[in-house]
């Protein structure tokens, strides 16, 4: 029978900044689905999130990412099948495990250089600003063949757009539109320069690729936009949570240091327990019932991936990093499963390996805090004491 939908509290009501487990439990207490004062629906349980993610005909990505203010369609996440399927056929080869492995040597060197700078300072260091923020940005610039000296500009744009993007509003703010236009102008300059040239960088390869008819300049810019907004902050967040977890648990750290399989398992469990993307948006194309609640057609819905990854109905010990691999929701489900998942895993592994080569012993110097409310769950600062 239809039932009244629970009210979703203001984002500020969830204590993510001080107690993430309590915040996720608070979300689960709302049930499978709840609705905000603005009429935005939040799907929380693993079953509800999985069903919606695998049903793009009803839970559509078309128009769902308007709050990011991109002047071009965001490829591929803002499209549904069959268009989305075509994009993934074109793009998956560029982001496969084999393609990412070809980039490993250069990216490992860059991670090592950033960590060497931390070692040189000695004492206590904020690893968020010194490592977790700059490394993903350098990775993006390196992959797409853009100047590394643009790193701080890129970080500034990304931080500002995500700060002004309002989760419980379906429309972009004027600030987001202005910043997005600046990013578009920056990327357009390099696409124009690179068109018709050969090169090993990803931007040149995408421009030269003719599979499935190839991609237009606007589509390639839209892809870059995705990586700037979805690929940088998320890896920053995961790196912060990973180093925090390892610093707080010497037993876990020793296991990771001496066992490659343990490193892989830790990364997957870290992504499950502290996945950086709390939720992803969808727009309903028809009335749909979830757990007795009817969600009207045309509603903005957020699939709460972080809550799904901590669902006690799906996981035995949902709030603890375990010692075995679990199938988490951090990279989504269904056709929109994260295009950059192999790259993200590579970045996490490289930093963890290079960090422990240089800094085997370390601890948390100050209690970190999660930045909240935010479109990404991440640590604002993580003070690590070396030695």
pLDDT tens-digit readout, 9-60:
999 999 999 999 999 999 999 999 999 999 999 999 999 999 999 999 999 9
Q: pTM for this one?
A: 0.93
Of 64-68, 101-105, 209-213, 322-326, the least confident: 64-68
CA-only gyration radius of the chain, Å: 20
Average pLDDT over residues 319-347: 93
Return the closest-CA partner of residue 241 out of 113, 52, 99, 381: 381
**Domains identified in the chain, total number:** 1
Asked if the structure places residue 213 within a domain, the reply is: yes
Asked if the structure places residue 5 within a domain, the reply is: no
Asked if the structure places residue 4 within a domain, the reply is: no
Segment 368-382, tens digit of pLDDT = 988 888 888 999 999
Asked if the structure places residue 2 within a domain, the reply is: no
- Are 129 and 151 in contact by the 8 Å Cβ rule? The answer is no
Asked if the structure places residue 356 within a domain, the reply is: yes
In terms of residue numbers, what domain contains 18? Answer: 11-386
Asked if the structure places residue 178 within a domain, the reply is: yes
Chain centroid to CA 59 = 20
Work out the pLDDT band at 240, boundaries 50, 70, 90: very high
CATH code of the domain covering residue 125: 1.10.630.10
For 87-171, strand residue ranges (E) read 124-126
- Are 249 and 363 in contact by the 8 Å Cβ rule? The answer is no
**Phi, then psi, of 301 in degrees rounded to 5:** -125, 145
Query: Which pLDDT does position 196 carry in this prediction?
Result: 83
Q: What angle do CA 345, 346, 349 make, to 5 degrees?
A: 85
Return the closest-CA partner of residue 329 out of 311, 317, 343, 345: 311
Asked if the structure places residue 1 within a domain, the reply is: no
Tokens of 326: 């679990």
Q: What angle do CA 224, 226, 228 make, to 5 degrees?
A: 70
């Amino acid at each position: 029978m239809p039932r009244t939908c629970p009210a979703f509290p203001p984002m500020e009501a969830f204590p993510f900044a001080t107690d993430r487990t309590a915040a996720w439990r608070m979300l689960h207490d709302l049930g499978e689905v709840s609705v905000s004062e603005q009429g935005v629906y939040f799907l929380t349980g693993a079953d509800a999130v999985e069903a919606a993610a695998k049903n793009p005909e009803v839970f559509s990505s078309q128009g769902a990412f308007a709050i990011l203010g991109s002047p071009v369609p965001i490829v591929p996440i803002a499209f549904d099948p069959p268009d989305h399927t075509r994009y993934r056929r074109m793009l998956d080869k560029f982001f496969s495990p084999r393609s990412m492995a070809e980039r490993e040597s250069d990216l490992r060197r860059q991670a090592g250089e950033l960590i060497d700078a931390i070692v040189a300072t000695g004492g206590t260091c904020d690893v968020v600003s010194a490592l977790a923020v700059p490394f993903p940005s350098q990775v993006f610039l390196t992959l797409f063949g853009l100047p590394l000296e643009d790193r701080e500009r890129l970080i500034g744009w990304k931080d500002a757009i995500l700060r002004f993007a309002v989760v419980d509003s379906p429309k972009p703010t004027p600030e987001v539109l202005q910043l997005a236009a600046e990013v578009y102008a920056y990327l357009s300059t390099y696409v124009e320069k690179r068109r018709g040239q050969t090169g090993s960088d990803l931007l040149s390869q995408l421009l030269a690729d003719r599979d499935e008819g190839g991609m237009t300049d606007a589509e390639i810019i839209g892809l870059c936009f995705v990586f700037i907004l979805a690929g940088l902050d998320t890896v920053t967040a995961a790196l912060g949570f990973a180093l925090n977890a390892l610093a707080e648990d010497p037993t876990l750290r020793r296991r990771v240091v001496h066992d490659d399989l343990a490193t892989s398992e830790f990364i997957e469990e870290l992504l499950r327990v502290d996945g950086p993307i709390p939720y992803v948006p969808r727009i309903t194309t028809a009335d749909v019932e979830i757990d007795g609640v009817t969600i009207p057609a045309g509603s903005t819905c957020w699939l709460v991936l972080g809550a799904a990854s901590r669902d006690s109905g799906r996981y035995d010990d949902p709030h603890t990093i375990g010692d075995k691999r679990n199938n988490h929701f951090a990279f989504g489900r269904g056709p929109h499963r994260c295009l950059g998942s192999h790259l993200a895993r590579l970045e996490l592994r490289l930093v963890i390996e290079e960090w422990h080569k240089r800094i085997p012993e370390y601890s948390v110097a100050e209690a970190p805090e999660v930045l909240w409310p935010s479109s990404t769950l991440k640590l604002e600062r993580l003070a690590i004491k070396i030695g």
